[in-house]
Amino acid sequence: MDRRTWLSLTAASLAAAAPSLKAFAKDFPGGLAPRGTFGKLERLPFRDLESNEDFLTTYRTWVQAEIWRAADRRAVALLKEHGIDPQAEMPMADALKLLEPDPIIALSAQTWLRGQELMWANMVREFHGNADKYVAEMEAADKAGPGTLELKPQMFIPDYAKHEIHMQPGGYVGNEFAGHIYYYGTHNFYSGANYQDETHAQYASKVATPADGQVKRVLELGCGTGQMAIALKERFPEAEIWAVDVGGPMVRFAHMHAVDCGANVNFMQALAEETPFPDGHFDVVTSYILHHEIPAEISKKVFKEAHRLVRPGGIYFPMDTYARRPIGRRTARGMFSLWWIHRWNQEVWTIEYSELDSAAAMRDAGFSVNEQGPGAWPGYKYNLLGTKA
Ligand SMILES: C[S@@+](CC[C@H](N)C(=O)[O-])C[C@H]1O[C@@H](n2cnc3c(N)ncnc32)[C@H](O)[C@@H]1O
């Protein structure tokens, strides 16, 4: 028996013996529950794999962050040497010419990328190396409740969705373990603040509600591994929760995760810009870090679809990142980072997303837009709240 199975048995017996342990885990000081014995993030099955992951998470959080700060300082020094105000805006081509050849800046980019590659490689080795076991787990969950899963193997997958964004092998649609790989990969990305989906719970707590307070049906677009959808169910326990994603493996994993958590969420493989739901079906539509990973033209379509889907007075609350307007972050260092994320971390749509005036596009879609909505992060697009008249 591997540790994962053993620990889940331990969890079951602990939970049966003392149901309050789960509640205790949620409120554990610092917000982090003791890991692995119970809770949401299932432990990796072998200690060597987990220690590899722990090393890479620690490396990213402490070492890489420090190397990155050294590169920031280096960029400031270089700009000053050239008589340029580091806060001044600079076209991307000029920023690259100036900053890319610098060895400290290059080192920061290279070490980050290699860490990322190692992280993915660990996950691919585990999940593909034990494919039968992990497929059997998903098969066992496919028809289980409380929520539902709808996969559409024949669905048209647009080319823009096939990229290996942030270098994830096979991306979201081309690897049957995409959900597994993403879930543990983002655990690393969230520097470990993911054991109990706590990052998602934090953002779910900021999701706006319609002025009349009615939240009967909620939809998440681009739900990935379902962490936000599950957090939304916890926030709105009486509401019917739906979540869609273009990636079949993503919703399949999401459903399995929801079944494990006992969360009544309905997952469906569907395009965010073309869902099968009726007009005005939802009180709240939301998305979390979807828009920076789709072309700007598709973002506009998603805004229109969200507008179609919410009832009058209903809202769309997209939470996303990398906004460069209206608050300018187009400094030389900012432009270098944007290029680097686009080119090397393969966030292929992020430059055009940064150039999209999302508030204007939401208005074009029919929403009235509050640019200082709940959970506003200055300079980010976390703050856009669209309300349907
Ligand atoms: C960065 S992930 C975010 C996932 C999830 N919201 C989370 O909380 O981690 C972006 C997700 O959007 C999905 N996606 C990309 N384009 C999409 C589209 N057109 N329709 C639906 N989902 C899409 C991807 O498959 C991926 O799972």
346-350, long-range: CB within 8 Å, 24+ apart, which pairs?
346/163, 346/164, 346/165, 346/166, 346/167, 347/165, 347/166, 347/292, 347/293, 348/163, 348/165, 349/160, 349/292, 349/293, 349/294, 349/295, 349/296, 350/292, 350/293, 350/322
Q: Partners of 243 in the beta sheet?
A: 220, 267
Q: What is the pLDDT averaged over residues 359-379? A: 83
Percent of the chain at pLDDT exceeding 70? 86
At 218 the three-state DSSP class reads strand
Q: How far is the CA of 270 from the centre of ligand 1 (A)?
A: 10
Check residue 30 and give its pLDDT.
45
pTM of the shown model: 0.89
Q: How far is the CA of 195 from the centre of ligand 1 (A)?
A: 20
C-alpha–C-alpha distance, residues 226 and 233, integer Å = 11
Check residue 329 and give its pLDDT.
64
Check residue 142 and give its pLDDT.
97
pLDDT tens track for 93-115: 999 999 999 999 999 999 999 99
Check residue 46 and give its pLDDT.
78
Specify the ligand 1 atom closest to the Cα of 158: 19
Q: How far is the CA of 299 from the centre of ligand 1 (A)?
A: 12
Q: Whose CA is nearest to atom 14 of ligand 1?
A: 222
Q: Pick from 152, 223, 350 the residue to mutate for probing ligand 1's pocket: most ligand atoms within 8 Å of its CB.
A: 223
Name the average pLDDT for the chain.
87
Q: Is 295's pLDDT higher than 70?
A: yes
CA neighbor of 207 nearest in space, from 372, 385, 380:
385
Is the C-beta atom of 190 inside 6 A of ligand 1? no
Check residue 18 and give its pLDDT.
43
List the domain boundaries for the chain.
1-39, 190-327+348-388
Check residue 17 and give its pLDDT.
41
pLDDT tens track for 266-290: 999 999 999 999 999 999 999 999 9
Check residue 39 and give its pLDDT.
63
Percent of the chain at pLDDT exceeding 90? 66
Is the C-beta atom of 288 inside 6 A of ligand 1? yes
Does 3.40.50.150 match the CATH number of domain 190-327+348-388? yes
C-alpha–C-alpha distance, residues 314 and 306, integer Å = 10
Q: Picking from 301-305, 354-358, 379-383, which range would have the lowest pLDDT averaged per residue?
A: 379-383
DSSP 258-277: HHHHT--EEEEE-BTTB--P
Is the C-beta atom of 305 inside 6 A of ligand 1? no
Q: Is 78's pLDDT higher than 70?
A: yes
Q: Picking from 152-166, 190-204, 246-260, 338-352, which range would have the lowest pLDDT averaged per residue?
A: 190-204
Q: What is the pLDDT averaged over residues 122-126? A: 94
Check residue 14 and give its pLDDT.
44
pLDDT tens track for 173-219: 999 999 999 998 888 888 777 777 888 888 899 899 999 999 999 99
